[in-house]
Amino acid sequence: HFKDLVFSGMQPTHTLHLGNYLGAMVNWVRMQDTHECMYCVVDMHAITVAQDPKALRGNIREVTAAYIACGIDPKRSILFNQSQVPQHAELAWIFNCIARMGWLNRMTQFKEKAGKDRENASVGLFAYPALMAADILVYRATHVPVGEDQKQHLELTRDIAQKFNNDFAEEIAAGGHGEAFFPLPEPMIQGPATRVMSLRDGSKKMSKSDPSDYSRINLTDTSDTIAQKVRKAKTDPEPLPTETAGLAARPEADNLVGIYAALSGVEREAVLAEFGGANFSTFKGALVDLAVDRLAPITDEMRRLTADPGHIDAILAEGAEKASAMAEVTMKAVKEIVGF
Ligand code: ADP
Ligand code: NA
């Protein structure tokens, strides 16, 4: 009995990179044609690790500009900023009381992000997946387009929804909500490239947290920077294979071919049909041209948008108003269900 609704978000901790673009954004934009969509700038997630307040405020606007420049239309989708909708935090607290320590202890992203010094990680970093569950479920969203790295968090969201539905089954039925108050949202791990790898190391995903800026292409990079990064990208000395099987033990080659395929909207096979047998310097030249062609209009549009912060703030305020109205319906019912 749940209406299809798409929810997703990104942290305003950094300039978006090609992994965010191909792994998430391209998909988000496409889904606007078929679904009702909500896209959030998740600043409350950002502060699970220390942020400089001035930089954070700028990054919230920059990520909002990136969403719009990539094709998220604030007239068709609800585009908003998490901290402006207090119901996210309200529901997150209730979910902190639903989720089990053991469930959160299993989250691999926490282990990665906390590193060796777990004792010094914020409680927020540990509880992050419960806030993420609240982000999604406060709208009772049914579909969540994310990259592969978020699969485990989505499973936890489903576990929280399921436990809430079970724990309060009687109250949920008595309140006239039927068998389940929360849907079990589906991860949608699809799109041109679900796992874009680092340009410096084919065994690591492209990530903002990589200390080397040469590991990623940012949506704000100039054409010259893109060219430099692609030329410096790690490869092996062999030419491109003619078939995808030839990419199997060559992660860096596979990644570059995958990026080319994703940016041009074709499969790896088609790229190899064109470039099989060519050496990497030739292929990298073509990849630079393609990446610049695709990304320069986005970069330009971001620059235009960020020049007018008032306009961005107005879009976010309007989105927050719509989101808040929806979230309040859920919270009113949740409070009754839990006995507040
Ligand atoms: P990061 O992974 O750089 O910390 P986020 O956690 O804010 O960035 O991720 C935002 C979205 O982008 C998520 O849906 C995530 O799955 C996707 N994403 C991030 N990095 C990649 C990547 N290298 N390949 C594909 N998708 C990615
Ligand atoms: Na991530």
Q: In this predicted structure, what is the pLDDT of residue 309?
A: 97
8 Å CB contact between 224 and 24: no
Residue among 149, 153, 190, 208 to mutate when testing ligand 1 (max atoms within 8 A of CB): 149
Q: In this predicted structure, what is the pLDDT of residue 45?
A: 98
Same fold, 6-195+309-338 and 213-303: no
Q: In this predicted structure, what is the pLDDT of residue 193?
A: 86
Which residues 6+ apart lie within 8 Å of 320 measured at CB? Answer: 80, 81, 84, 85
8 Å CB contact between 107 and 129: yes
CA of 207 to the centre of ligand 1 (A): 7
Q: Which long-range contacts (CB under 8 A, 24 or more apart) does 265-269 make?
A: 265/192, 268/244, 269/243, 269/244
Residue among 20, 109, 135 to mutate when testing ligand 1 (max atoms within 8 A of CB): 20
Spatial distance between the Cα atoms of 194 and 146, rounded to a whole number of angstroms? 8
Count of residues for the chain?
A: 340
Name the residue with the closest Cα to ligand 1, atom 1.
Answer: 207
8 Å CB contact between 130 and 160: yes
Q: In this predicted structure, what is the pLDDT of residue 149?
A: 84
Spatial distance between the Cα atoms of 100 and 180, rounded to a whole number of angstroms? 20
Catalytic residues: 113, 205, 208
Domain locations along the chain: 6-195+309-338, 213-303
**Ligand 1 atom with minimal separation from the 11 CA:** 7
| DSSP labels, 19-39 | HHIIIIIHHHHHHTTTS-EEE
Instruction: Give pTM, 2 decimals.
Output: 0.93
| Ligand that comes closest to the CA of residue 59 | 1
The ipTM estimated for the assembled molecules is 0.93
CA pseudo-torsion sign 169, 101, 122, 208 = negative
8 Å CB contact between 27 and 191: yes
Spatial distance between the Cα atoms of 50 and 21, rounded to a whole number of angstroms? 25
CATH architecture, range 6-195+309-338: 3-Layer(aba) Sandwich (3.40)
Name the residue with the closest Cα to ligand 1, atom 2.
Answer: 207
CATH of domain 213-303: 1.10.240.10
8 Å CB contact between 147 and 195: yes
- Give the pLDDT confidence of 297-309 residue by residue, as tens digits: 999 999 999 999 9
Which residues contribute to the annotated binding site for ATP?
Answer: 11-13, 19-20, 147-149, 196, 205-209
- Give the pLDDT confidence of 236-295 residue by residue, as tens digits: 999 999 999 999 999 999 999 999 999 999 999 999 999 999 999 999 999 999 999 999
Q: What is the mean pLDDT of the chain?
A: 96
8 Å CB contact between 251 and 197: yes
Edge to edge, what strands does the sheet with 143-145 contain?
A: 78-81, 37-41, 6-10, 143-145, 186-188
Backbone dihedral angles phi then psi of residue 147, each to the nearest 5 degrees: -80, 170
Question: Could you say which DSSP state residue 205 is in?
Answer: B
Pocket of ligand 1 (CB under 6 A): 10-11, 19-20, 23-24, 146-147, 149-150, 194-196, 205-209
- Give the pLDDT confidence of 2-16 residue by residue, as tens digits: 999 999 999 999 889
